[in-house]
Amino acid sequence: MADATSQGGHTTLFSPYKMGKFNLSHRVVLAPMTRCRALNGVPQPALAEYYAQRSTAGSFLISEGTIISDTGAGFPHVPGIYNDEQVEAWKKVVDAVHAKGAIIFCQLWHVGRSSHEVYQPAGGAPISSTNNPVSRRWRILLPDGSYGFYPKPRALETQEISQVVEQYRQAALNAIRAGFDGIEIHGAHGYLIDQFLKDGINDRTDEYGGSLENRCKFLIQIVQAVVGAIGADRVGVRMSPAIDHMDAVDSNPLILGLAVIERLNKLQQNWGTKLTYLHVTQPRYAAYGQAEAGKPGSDEEEAVFMRTLRKTYHGTFLASGGFTRELGMQAVASGDADLVSYGRLFISNPDLVLRFKLNAPLTKYNRKTFYTQDPVVGYTDYPFLNKSNGKEEPLSRL
Ligand SMILES: Cc1cc2nc3c(=O)[nH]c(=O)nc-3n(C[C@H](O)[C@H](O)[C@H](O)COP(=O)(O)O)c2cc1C
């Protein structure tokens, strides 16, 4: 009888996968998710428990966005990886994940203009590709739990950009020192790198603005610097050409996505080694298709968009965004993705992999606790299935 590992000979979410040098036992990946529990930027014991809960042998986890420098934060209590205290604290988290036999990458993050003076050293302006702020359509979560407007950023001077590239390189080295198996460069969702990629934000007139070549330059320099430091086989890249989060619109998301991919392919060819993976966020109607008709894109349009990127990239393709068990099964069976990352469902189902395997009911997530600081409530207190009877059981409070 066919089981969930290979239904009728097809690849399923439970087929093993060789991701570069890493042997994964299945294809359900923990998506990077900011959870605001790293008090003052330092991972706490609760993070070790949270990630360990979501780890099983051969699982692949991507950490929450982790800040590369003291100008990089735009949420309360997000972890950093730019000083020794943070590196030491991360070691305990990574050890807890490794003890379960899972693999974990650190997502390197700089929010750029999606920040606020309260998160900046000495209350300065956040840095970006531009002097224009995020529009008032969007609000920023402040440390006291209230929401504010995004302030006017300061466009990086041309000669400052190499310093930021260097911060990514150093952060990657720190991540390896902390024991992470690799890093993911967060080039998605309207944050600093996306602020260079998208022509709806990047209004520079120097070598980092204007043409596609120039807008891709910042990301590509970061990829090169990080790969030079830790090796391509420990580096993933995330992008979201069609996601308009925080005004990150582009006049041609497909062409932008293909431009990034062509450059990554070329680098891989030159190195003779592949990056670990490319991680792309599904538009799911967010932006793609709106430009021409003013209507959201269709399912088909979206599938064509993702498939075109997938076919063009020479390497492991990780898809994210709005996947259910069924959609994930379809994506891997059809070859639209090698791996699928799950976000919200993984927040409220620490044993998501097992639940998917059994096709067991899922616990609903509570949005209200996504970004709160309690180390237990809405964080490590979601129930596991009782393995003997398939019913949920609450976690014991240690
Ligand atoms: C609470 C929360 C925090 C997130 N934080 C990050 C982040 O730090 N970095 C990132 O690249 N994406 C982040 N995302 C996006 C997720 O990685 C994922 O792509 C998104 O949730 C869509 O997947 P889903 O439909 O399975 O939830 C976050 C999403 C949520 C819900």
Q: How does pLDDT run across 188-231, given as a tens digit for each residue?
A: 999 999 999 999 999 999 999 999 999 999 999 999 999 999 99
Q: How many domains does the chain have?
A: 1
Q: What is the band of 286 on the pLDDT scale with cuts at 50, 70, 90?
A: low
pLDDT on residue 18:
98
Query: What is the Cα–Cα distance from 259 to 241, expressed in whole angstroms?
Result: 10
Ligand 1 binding site (Cβ under 6 Å of any ligand atom):
31-34, 64-65, 107, 186, 188-189, 238, 281, 320-323, 342-345, 370
Distance CA 208, CA 217 (A): 6
For strands 317-320 and 339-342, give the pairing: parallel
Instruction: Say how many residues make up the chain.
Output: 398
In a domain, 54, yes or no: no
The residue that leads in pLDDT, 253 or 391, is 253
Please report whether residue 395 resides in a domain: no
Instruction: Write the pLDDT tens digit of every residue in 306-340.
Output: 999 999 999 999 999 999 999 999 999 999 999 99
Residue 170 lies in a domain: yes
Average pLDDT over residues 28-43: 98
This prediction's pTM: 0.95
In the structure encoding, which two tokens stand for residue 222, read together? Answer: 């970061």
Please indicate, yes or no, if residue 393 is contained in any of the structural domains: no
Does any domain span residue 5?
Answer: no
Residue 377 lies in a domain: no
pLDDT band at 284 (very low <50, low <70, confident <90, very high): confident
C-alpha 35 – ligand 1 centre gap (Å)? 10
pLDDT above 80 for 7: no
For ligand 1, atom 21, the nearest C-alpha belongs to 343
Q: Which tokens hold the place of 231?
A: 């090796």
CA distance 282 to 242: 8
Judge whether residue 296 has pLDDT over 70.
no
Q: What is the mean pLDDT of the chain?
A: 93
Write the CATH number for 112. Answer: 3.20.20.70
Amino acid at 158: T
Domain membership of residue 118 (yes or no) is: yes
Question: Strand 147-148 and strand 182-187: pairing?
Answer: unpaired
The whole domain housing 80 covers: 63-286+294-319
Stretch (H or E) spanning 332 = helix 325-334
Q: Which of 28, 13, 128 has the alpha carbon at shortest distance from 72?
A: 128
* From 14-23, 242-251, 282-291, 293-302, the region with the lowest mean pLDDT: 282-291
- Alpha carbon of 295 to those of 173, 289, 290: distances in Å? 44, 7, 5
Cα separation of 116 and 148, whole Å? 9
Look at residue 41 and tell me if it is in a domain.
no
Return d(Cα 113, Cα 239) in angstroms, integer: 17
Helix, strand or coil for residue 226? helix
> Which residue's CA is minimally distant from atom 15 of ligand 1?
33
